[in-house]
Structure 1
Amino acid sequence: MTEKELQAIRARAEAATEGPWRANCYGILGGQERVLWPTDIGTVESFDKNILFILEARQDVPKLLAEVERLQHALQTYREYGSLFIADMHNGFSLTDLVETKLSEEACGNDEE
């Protein structure tokens, strides 16, 4: 996830009104679907920002989940191989190099475990 994507998600979240939000059911379409509309979401201006937040959530949430998983994996890799970094510090390796090398090896199927 890029910094620009993260900033855009943050801006949408900060522009939306505080929750919790509620929804009103206005009927049934096609015999199955309910039309839900958020209530208690502020002024007309904040309404537009809230709608943008809702519309983009379908794309934002999976991106955020993928980023959390990537960071969790990187942290786990650091925990598993951090001691190797300590041992190799005198050889000029950085922790970033070590983690990126390990993640690259795993992605390419070159994991020696």
Structure 2
Amino acid sequence: MVTVEQVRQVALSLPRAYEALVRDRVKFRVGRIVFAALSADETELGFGYPKEARDALVAAEPDKFFLPRESDLRYHWVQARMAALDEDELHELITDAWRMCVPKRVAADHLRMLGL
């Protein structure tokens, strides 16, 4: 199980990322693009994810992942139950969502700095 503080720590460690409060919901952005967001009750995490792969993700682990509400299906987005995530998975999901929002050079520089 991951916490809100762990989500915040991972998201804010990424270049150009910042936190915003929108309608009482915590969102993490790069510029104006949201790459991760917490539900109002902070039990669910939404994050950027390729549309073409999200059905397979949800089908593989339906107790952990689920599709966003119908009005948000047009976005590259999926949801997860925070109680079902572990720290390594959280880091990977948030980092991959962030990479979808930043220039390739920024992502490459960051990964190079980490030795990846």
User: Could you tell me the TM-score, scaled by structure 1's length?
Assistant: 0.21
Q: Quick check: which has more Rg, 1 or 2? A: 1
Higher RCO (C-alpha 8 Å, min separation 6): 2
TM-score by length of 2: 0.21
The structure where strand makes up a greater share of residues is 2
Task: Please identify which structure carries the higher helix content.
Answer: 1
